Structure 1
Amino acid sequence: MKTFQVLLLLLFPTLINAQTKVLPVEVQIKTATLAAPEELRSGVMVYGYNDKGEMVVLREGTNHLVCLADDPGKEGINVSCYSKKLEPFMARGRELSAEGKGEMEKRVTRKNEAEAGTLTLTDTPGMTTILTGSEENYNSETGELTDGHFRYVIYIPYATAESTGLPEKPFAPGMPWIMDPGTHRAHIMITPPKN
């Protein structure tokens, strides 16, 4: 029994690394940019992962979009692209994550910083497009994803149901609604129904 336990302990790091294998830069870029309109993909800035699993800039951009590659440490495929005007908010979230902060702690920190004026929020709506899919439908050699599903998030800080006319919950499939109304992270959610 002890031999088996020792063997597991020795193999565990290898198993973890196999599950979190970082893909080549060109594949990460290809997959990340699937969340951008096709005509803009060649000019987006892309964040992805280096061999140590750290998030880094993989490609500088020439247009108004920033895309995030799939996190190799998480299940499924999840990439997104957003307006550069959201970068201060998003970058701060990445910094806090790198410090080991959880989601609720990140929310409180960014709220406090936004209210103190030390975190710049967008002054006009800024959109994020999220593309998700299963690993079964993903080709890790080419970066292609079939049967992915889009979701759209339009950040509009401090907006409310009253100021937008949107409900706080969807009452029909795929309809827009406002989440976290009246807060620094207020955003319009649009999740088209799956086919």
Structure 2
Amino acid sequence: MKTLFTSLLFASVLISCNSSDKSKDTSEESTEVATTTEATAQTKKQLKSIETDDDLIATALMAAPAESRQNTKVIGYNMAGEFVTLKEGDSEYIVLADDPKKDGFNAACYHKDLEPFMARGRALRAEGKSAEEIFEIREAEVKSGEIEITPGSALHIYYGPNTTFDPETSKVEGAKLRYVIYTPFATSASIGLPETPTAPNHPWIMDPGTHRAHIMISPLVNEVE
């Protein structure tokens, strides 16, 4: 009888402990979820829309290397829809800001030696030329030497689906960096890269054999800046 009583008492204590532990685990889990939700909410509250020319400048400069942002020139459409110089600069880079009239976010940073090539494309586009026409015109002009593309010149593209950003860091929500390295008239055989991507973040050559031949380096799927 004493043995039975002891067994029942032990079982009762064990059940009580298990219930207490489960309650504790549930409580801790709820606290953790609440904390995570609160942190996410705070992060969301910190984001703001791109609404001013200063916002355009700050977010566009995220396409440039950090050490050059202060002295880099920024051009592009302002909030009024005018193509202007948004910020003066004398670094080796030029940054093209996101067009606020278009969906999503897309800013580009390139070496200043590429400006004649880039400017020619913008001018032809403004004339109403199609992408195919622009390609053919610049192909002829590069071949004739009228426009020069220095091999190895890089283009940094900062892009994403959103137009909200953190005003403290200027990082655009969900934006990533993609890199282009121009290698005019190069081919897969001449530089030893495939003509199609084999995996994310692996370099490959696009538009081989043309003036726009370039090495593409795209971000990993889960890589967010």
Query: With structure 1 as the length reference, what TM-score do the two structures score?
Result: 0.81
For 2:139, give the aligned amino acid: K
| CA distance in 1: counterparts of 2:172 and 2:93, whole angstroms | 20
- Distance in 2 (CA, whole Å) between partners of 1:53 and 1:100 is 17
Per-residue deviation, residues 90-118 of structure 1 (Å, max 9, x unmatched): 11111111212221111111111112222
Whole-Å separation in 2 of the counterparts to 1:190 and 1:114: 24
What does the per-residue CA deviation read over 1:59-88, in whole Å, with 9 as the maximum and x for residues that have no partner?
A: 222110111111122110111101112111
The structure 2 residue matched to 1:103, chosen from 118, 128, 131, is 131
Flag the 1:91–1:112 CA change in 2: closer, same or farther, 3 A.
same
How far residue 125 of structure 1 moved from its aligned partner, in angstroms, is 0.8
Corresponding residue for residue 174 of structure 1: 201
Q: Which residue matches 1:14?
A: none
Matched residue, 1:8: none
Which segments of 5 or more consecutive residues in structure 2 lack a partner in the other structure? 1-49
Partners of 1:74 and 1:147 in 2: how far apart?
17
Give the Cα–Cα distance (whole angstroms) in 2 for the partners of residues 162 and 53 of structure 1: 44
How far the C-alpha of 1:157 sits from its partner, in A, is: 0.7
Question: Of the candidates 133, 139, 142, which is equivalent to residue 165 of structure 2?
Answer: 139
Partner of 1:158: 185
Structure that is richer in helix per residue: 2
Which residue in the other structure is 1:128 paired with?
155
Q: Counterparts of 2:79 and 2:220 in 1: how far apart (Å)?
A: 36
Q: State the 1:37 CA deviation.
A: 1.4
Structure 1 portions without partners, runs of 5+? 1-21
Aligned match of 1:78: 106
Instruction: State the partner residue of 2:73.
Output: 45
Secondary structure at 1:78 match in 2: strand
Tell me the number of residue pairs that the alignment of Structure 1 and Structure 2 aligns: 173
Let me know the Cα RMSD of the aligned residues.
Answer: 2.1
Question: SS in structure 2 opposite 1:145?
Answer: coil
Structure index of larger Rg: 2
**4+ residue stretches of structure 1 with deviation over 6 A?**
none
Q: Is the 8 A contact 1:153 1:187 kept in 2?
A: yes
Q: Secondary structure at the match of 2:59?
A: helix
Q: Following TM superposition, by how much is the alpha carbon of 1:172 offset from its aligned partner in structure 2, in angstroms? A: 2.1
